[in-house]
Structure 1
Amino acid sequence: MKALLSLALLLTWLGRCTGAAQVFMEPQLRARAGDSVLLQCLFLDPDSKGWTLHKVDWLHRAGAGTQEEMVFFYYSNHGVPAGRFKHRVQWRGNISRWDGSILLQDLRLNDSGTYECELRLLETSSVFMRCEGSAAQVWGASLLLPSSVTACVPSAPKPPGLCQQRGQPGPGAC
């Protein structure tokens, strides 16, 4: 029996996140063990700040107090899968469009945990923002495991104030 992987998502802002620059996430994403899931990390309104995105890191943490492990990183036009995810993760983003998405394939129960997307700016090594998840659960037969999994994904519909922040006339213009 395939396990149901429920992803509850929460956005955490770090560093110089100000003004209209935002990342939006879906409130929930569902997948089953053995399936593939697109973990999106989309940054909106970068042009208004004149920033250049140059690196995306995806990290996994199995639980509280455990060490992070690298899942994937993108740098200098090269995507590099890492660790135990090496043969199961693919770059699906487009850095010129501020998209740091990855495809995680053949989901397994031990993929439970927190996935973090880190976006880095050109000419600085500091993390601009990190998106991480909150509690999720994996179900299978009589097995119930607490976990958390994350993605940075666009919300639909966009929050009403977004268009005004971008200088557009209103929510319908997005």
Structure 2
Amino acid sequence: MSINEMLKDKRILCLCEGAAEYDIMNLLLENELLIINKEDLYDEKLHYRKRVRDIEDQFLGYSHQKELIILRVIDSKNEQFNLKKAYANRYRVINIITNPEIEILIIIDKADLDEFNKTKSTKKASEFCKEKYKLRKIKKSGTMREYFNDVRKLTAALKRHKSNYGKDIYTIYDLLQRT
């Protein structure tokens, strides 16, 4: 089943790891580039990542008119997300991976991926961006939005990022509409 089919006609609780992921997802939503829209989202907005127990208390203990899907935009392929038994079989969790960090999209856009790959064992993508491009506030809200004000650059970087992963790992690129 495709991710498009999994999300069709569902209520989506989209949890973004940090400000950069939140900015990217909001930018794509606002430009109507995603297979989901604001009306599909829980409370019609994106949410920041929270502890599992907080999510259960705040969102899952209620009946929903539509099936609720938890969509997590995170950088780690191995991060655990264990719902209580009462919720584990009731809610599907889909991970959208931005590994190694969402800031890799800037490095891809700048065509510096080879240079970064030589240093990635000692440097995170965000640190590389701070040093190489003088983006001191890379983790702050608004930085990714400002950098990717041309969404064509963003979608091109997302496509290139996806090329590093197989079909079994979802990335933000998988959430883009295909025209």
- Pair in the same fold by TM > 0.5: no
Q: Give the TM-score normalised by the residue count of structure 1.
A: 0.26
Normalized per residue, the structure richer in helix is 2
Q: Highest relative contact order (Cα 8 Å, sep 6+), 1 or 2?
A: 1
Could you tell me the TM-score, scaled by structure 2's length? 0.26
